[in-house]
Amino acid sequence: MIGRGLTMKKIKAELLLAELNRLRKDVPEDPSDLEWVTLHHVFCFVSYQMSEFQKYVEKQNEQGAFEELES
């Protein structure tokens, strides 16, 4: 398909991490709130494992996982 003039939408890991951080910041910081704790620790973990997350995102890009995202 790509060889026929169509291009795949490519997403970078940094974009997804930035969106996760935005979601985390939208929730009031409250160590007793499961939503905030979950977002905070997932953000921290993914940040520390950025190279592995980038590999995952690249594989998902190849499989077309982000094709339906709006620009």
Condensed to tens digits (0 to 9), the pLDDT of residues 16-63 reads 999 999 999 999 999 999 999 999 999 999 999 999 999 999 999 999
- pLDDT category at 7 given cuts 50, 70, 90 is low
Question: What pLDDT is recorded for position 2?
Answer: 45
Distance CA 22, CA 20 (A): 5
* Per-residue tokens: 54: 């980038």
CB atoms within 10 A of CB 13: 19
Q: Is the distance from CB of 24 to CB of 39 less than 8 angstroms?
A: yes
pLDDT for residue 9:
80
Indicate whether this model's pTM tops 0.75: yes
pLDDT recorded at residue 3 = 45
The confidence score (pLDDT) of residue 8 equals 66
